[in-house]
Amino acid sequence: MAQDLGLVLLDQTSITVPNVTRSGFEPCDLLDVPNKRFIHVKKSSRRSSILSHFFKQGSNSAQQFRKIDAAWSQLESLVRSAGYLAEADQLNVDPQQIRDGWTVEYWIADAQRKTGGFNIPFFSKITLRDEVSALRAMQYDVVLRFIDIPPDPIAT
């Protein structure tokens, strides 16, 4: 499905910071190189601890790409090894040139609340606000998107 949307699937892949033990991080779930989007996807928005970690994970990943050239090189290698040669070539340019204009997108797949619409827990809103501020300070745009899915009949 990711390929049908023109996206590179990077879920469960890892990038490490050189000379730092246990520094592995997931770059994003989906990567849209032509449109410069790091897309992070999470199912459900009901648990604050999970969502707060999700927002922090996206921000931390973006920070590594902004600050560490080796992380960017590893991203290019991951994309190339996944068979996306044109996208990898787009990533293989002057680091400052390619790093400008990127967006960090958080996609949350969830059923609408009984009252209609989507919502996230209060503390997750605080975490999101803080991470959006940090990301904008690093010159990233940020998008929060909800994907409407049918409610879980067991949970209702």
Each residue's pLDDT tens digit, 131-156: 999 999 999 999 999 999 888 766 55
Looking at the domain assignment, is residue 154 inside a domain? no
67 within some domain: yes
Assigned domain for 153 exists = no
Domain assignment present for residue 155? The answer is: no
pLDDT in tens, 17-70: 888 888 899 999 999 999 999 999 999 878 999 999 999 999 999 999 999 989
Q: What is the pLDDT of residue 153?
A: 67
pTM of the model: 0.91
Q: Domain with 112 in it: what CATH number?
A: 3.40.1350
DSSP string, 15-34: B--TT-TT--B---SEEETT
Q: How far is CA 142 from CA 23, 40, 55, in A?
A: 24, 11, 11
Three-point CA angle 85, 87, 92, nearest 5°? 90
Distance from C-alpha of 79 to C-alpha of 63, rounded to nearest angstrom? 19
Q: What is the average pLDDT across 84-97?
A: 85
Residue 79 has pLDDT above 80, yes or no: yes
Please check whether residue 131 is in contact with residue 59, taking contact to mean a CB–CB distance below 8 angstroms. yes
Instruction: Give 1's pLDDT tier (boundaries 50, 70, 90).
Output: low
- Specify whether the CB–CB gap between 88 and 76 falls below 8 A: yes
Residue 93, pLDDT score: 79
What are the backbone angles phi and psi of residue 145, rounded to the nearest 5°? -130, 140
**How many domains would you assign to the chain?**
1
Nearest to 26 by CA among 65, 2, 61, 54: 61
Structural domain contains residue 121: yes
- The H helix count followed by the E strand count for the chain is 5, 5
Phi and psi angles of residue 15, each rounded to the nearest 5 degrees, phi first:
-120, 140
Residue 15: which domain range? 3-148
Q: Which of 43, 44, 17, 41 is nearest to 31 (CA)?
A: 41
For residue 148, the 8-state DSSP code is E
Q: What is the mean pLDDT of residues 84-94?
A: 90
